[in-house]
Amino acid sequence: MVAQRELDETEVDRVFHALAASTRRDILRRTIEHEQSVSALAGDYDMSFAAVQKHVSVLEAAGLIVKRAEGRERLVRANPEMIAKARALLARYEELWRARIARLDDLLAQPAPETNPPEQHQGE
């Protein structure tokens, strides 16, 4: 079994940048379902083939998809290893925020400290 290395800061930046665009998220979703040619992907978007190729390149640079040549076609499939790393990173963020919320809940559940009203002096 290969140990799963955490993403470094550059990889994290690339993954979040790649996932920032809805078209790239859709391409990733479609390539998780099954391998597709870039041509087939491009046919479903209202943009040029070159624009779809650029989206694919961003996803590939982030390691979220893998592209391979088969004859004249370029086939694209999701990279489950990188998706798992990104998911693990998001799970760590979720744990961090859940712990913070739990601490806040604990703090709010504590009874408020009693405060004594300020003493009033005669003649004031």
Q: Is the pLDDT of residue 36 over 50?
A: yes
**Per-residue pLDDT at 122:** 66
CATH numeric code, 9-82: 1.10.10.10
Dihedral Cα 55, 61, 63, 69, nearest 10 deg? 70
Residue pLDDT, tens place only, 10-34: 999 999 999 999 999 999 999 999 9
pTM (2 d.p.):
0.75
Q: Outline where DSSP puts E strands in 7-72.
A: 36-37, 65-70
Give residue limits of the domains in the chain: 9-82
Q: Is the pLDDT of residue 76 over 80?
A: yes
